């Protein structure tokens, strides 16, 4: 079996969907349990104005959990994969900007931590999730196209 076949194999994509879905469900759950710490993490990036930090800290974890559940269940999988792809891209850009500005940030990716995060590790993890999401999304597009033929 070639690498391309392996990557596009139905089982591989199903496992990938379950893996990425569980990661986002876990990430969202840890943030929902301690929203103020997640708000502090968002604040440490110095990107969003303080007025909307709490709204993001309350809404984003719910969105992560919802997208994770949808990705695993298969219902609305294509838009969910696109959503996770965009979210991960935004996280990646935020981490990259923080790194470039030399900020000591607490990424808050999986709930609160009491110290600054290793941004390289967080960015590496996001790149992997991004690749996985791209793979799932393009596969879902292909499936839609095939079903229309």
Residue 58 binds other proteins, judged by CB under 8 A:
yes
Instruction: Please identify which residue in the block is written with the tokens 């470039």.
Output: 100
CA distance 81 to 5: 20
116 touching other proteins, by CB under 8 A: yes
Residue 82 in the binding site for other proteins (CB under 8 A): yes
Give the per-residue contact string, 14-53, with other proteins (x = CB under 8 A; - = no): ------------------xxxxxx-xx--x------xx-x
Smaller CB distance to other proteins: residue 123 or 135? Answer: 135
The Cα–Cα gap between 11 and 4 comes to 13
List of residues contacting other proteins (CB under 8 A):
32-37, 39-40, 43, 50-51, 53-55, 57-63, 66-67, 70, 76, 78-80, 82-83, 86, 104, 111-116, 138-139, 141-142, 144-145
């Amino acid at each position: 079996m070639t690498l391309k076949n392996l990557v596009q194999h139905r089982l591989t994509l199903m496992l990938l969907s379950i893996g990425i879905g569980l990661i986002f469900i876990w990430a969202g759950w840890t943030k929902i349990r301690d929203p103020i710490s997640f708000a502090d993490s968002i604040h440490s990036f110095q990107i969003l104005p303080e007025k909307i930090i709490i709204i993001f800290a309350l809404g984003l974890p719910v969105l992560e959990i919802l997208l994770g559940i949808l990705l695993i269940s298969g219902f609305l999988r294509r838009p969910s994969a696109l959503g996770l792809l965009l979210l991960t891209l935004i996280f990646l850009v935020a981490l990259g900007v923080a790194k470039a500005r030399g900020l000591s940030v607490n990424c808050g990716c999986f709930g609160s931590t009491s110290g600054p995060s290793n941004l390289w590790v967080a960015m590496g993890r996001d790149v992997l999730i991004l690749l996985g999401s791209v793979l799932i999304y393009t596969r879902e597009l292909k499936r839609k196209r095939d079903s229309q033929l």
